[in-house]
Amino acid sequence: MSIALKILVVIFLSGIKFMFAIPLSIIKYDFTFIQTLLFSVVGGVLSIFVFSYLSDKIYKLIKKRRQNKVKKRSVKKALAIKTARKYGLVGIAFLTPIFLSIPIGTYLALYFFPEKRKTIPILITSVVAWSLVLSVALTSF
């Protein structure tokens, strides 16, 4: 596999399943600390921008489809509301790269905190911080 393809795989995977991209980059592809940090941050940040743009369209589509249906209370919806109220934007941003995945976390963050000028920088900070922590932890072995 060429180096360019490896880089694209890490960037793409960082945008979808962040937790798997960094170990793949270090263990399988043998990238350095700086390369791993750079490619995972680029992938995560690009994904945040793409999914923040798409979140408006997804929200409108869901809202349009739900107008004709009876509203139901689901356990997932109640849990998401409880988490957003208890931990706020910082809590969602903290959980996004590792536990929620960037697409889902970005959608949830913008659903509960729609002010993009505040929400997106916090999500980006979380991606950079997690990338730094995981890169340091995995390259120090």
What is the pLDDT tens value at each position of the chain, 141 positions in all?
Answer: 899 999 999 999 999 988 899 999 999 999 999 999 999 999 999 999 999 998 878 777 777 777 666 556 666 567 667 778 888 999 889 988 888 889 988 988 998 999 999 999 999 999 999 999 999 998 886
Predicted local confidence at residue 62, as pLDDT: 75
Give the DSSP letter string of 17-63: -HHHHHHIIIIIS---HHHHHHHHHHHHHHHHHHHHHHHHHHHHHHH
At 34 the pLDDT is 95
Cα–Cα dist 64/25, whole Å: 41
Q: What is the pLDDT of residue 80?
A: 67
Tell me the C-alpha distance between 4 and 121, whole Å. 28
Residue 124 contacts residue 97 (beta carbons within 8 Å): no
C-alpha–C-alpha distance, residues 127 and 117, integer Å: 16
pTM of this prediction? Answer: 0.84
How many domains would you assign to the chain?
A: 1
pLDDT at 75: 66
Structure confidence at residue 58 (pLDDT) = 78
Q: Tell me the residue range of the domain where 120 lies.
A: 3-139
Residue 41's pLDDT is: 96
Per-residue model confidence (pLDDT) at position 40: 95
How far, in Å, CA of 54 to CA of 57, rounded? 5
